[in-house]
Structure 1
């Protein structure tokens, strides 16, 4: 029985799957947006999809880990282009949500359902920053884009402001 395991690993191509912890550069990037609100030691970055049908151009983080197919998987997002760093911060917002016991998978599914049912007219990522509206008053995808925009220095850091007022 155990002699079949290596053959099974090769057949299923499991040897191509890898995961890693966050790098020190990625943690430093995240701290500029999230401070110490995330338990960075719990986070893993994986080079395989969360869902079997996950498109190659989609990164997901519904369960506290970041899942990216090889095209978008990077060994250290902190050393990548601004676009990859911004994408990484968006996904780390979902990690933050998950660590706050928010059901990212279910809420993401609802938002995607609304997007497709509206014939793609509803954009769950689009947001209008409102005074006196806290970070968690936006939907989970808007929160991801808000975190990205904080990282890009387009808006003030309402994540740390919201947490400071709690």
Structure 2
């Protein structure tokens, strides 16, 4: 009986609306400014659907090695967008880097977001005190994302690719 309705159900879901693409050469180029070749760019995908059903339309997530973005913020090439979109893209690429380093981004992100909401916004997991002699890996995952963004924006030196700090 279920097989009888399957074609109808599949048409309702409208799979053709979902996009999944690899990084563009431009996106790889701007990512390499921050991460060099520390990321396997060929494994990264960008999808125009949320990771979580309740994901806000303005939230972009990358907890599992892919970037999940709703249609509102989906772009065909983030390297051709405004500097603020490029910086947001770089923040998400930090989560891709973390995932490829075997960090459980979903679990750590959930913990940090819970701390933010339980503290009624008093704890900000994104806020960091930059120390040029401190290893990138000692910051939490959201701080790392914002550090990567600030490296891209040339606000701070690149500690990610500094071999003296990251041993």
Asked if Structure 1 and Structure 2 have the same fold, meaning a TM-score greater than 0.5 normalized by the shorter chain, the answer is yes
- Structure 2: any 5+ residue segments left out of the alignment? none
Change (3 A) 1:101 1:121: same
Tell me what 1:43 maps to. Answer: 44
What TM-score does the superposition give when structure 2 sets the normalisation length? Answer: 0.94
Tell me what 1:87 maps to. Answer: 88
Equivalent residues in 2 for 1:97-112 (5 A)? 97-112=98-113
Tell me what 1:61 maps to. Answer: 62
Whether the aligned pair in 2 keeps the contact of 1:25 and 1:78 (CA below 8 Å) is yes
Whether the aligned pair in 1 keeps the contact of 2:21 and 2:46 (CA below 8 Å) is yes
Query: Number of residues paired by the alignment?
Result: 166
Whether the aligned pair in 2 keeps the contact of 1:47 and 1:69 (CA below 8 Å) is yes
Whether the aligned pair in 1 keeps the contact of 2:62 and 2:92 (CA below 8 Å) is yes
Instruction: For residue 60 of structure 1, give the secondary structure of its aligned residue in structure 2.
Output: coil
Whether the aligned pair in 1 keeps the contact of 2:47 and 2:69 (CA below 8 Å) is yes
Deviations 1:86-137 (A, max 9, x none): 0000000000000000000000000001001101111000001124210010
Instruction: For residue 8 of structure 1, give the secondary structure of its aligned residue in structure 2.
Output: helix
**Which aligned segments of 4 or more residues in structure 1 are displaced greater than 3 angstroms?**
1-6, 162-165
How far apart in 2 are the matches of 1:106 and 1:142?
A: 15
Instruction: For residue 71 of structure 1, give the secondary structure of its aligned residue in structure 2.
Output: helix
What TM-score does the superposition give when structure 1 sets the normalisation length? Answer: 0.95
Change (3 A) 1:67 1:163: farther
**How far did residue 42 of structure 1 move?**
0.1
Instruction: For residue 11 of structure 1, give the secondary structure of its aligned residue in structure 2.
Output: helix
Instruction: For residue 109 of structure 2, give the secondary structure of its aligned residue in structure 1.
Output: helix
Deviations 1:14-61 (A, max 9, x none): 221111000000000000000000000000000000001000000000
Whether the aligned pair in 1 keeps the contact of 2:159 and 2:166 (CA below 8 Å) is no
How far apart in 1 are the matches of 2:10 and 2:51?
A: 19
- Structure 1: any 5+ residue segments left out of the alignment? none
CA-based RMSD of the aligned residues comes to 1.6
**How far did residue 140 of structure 1 move?**
0.1
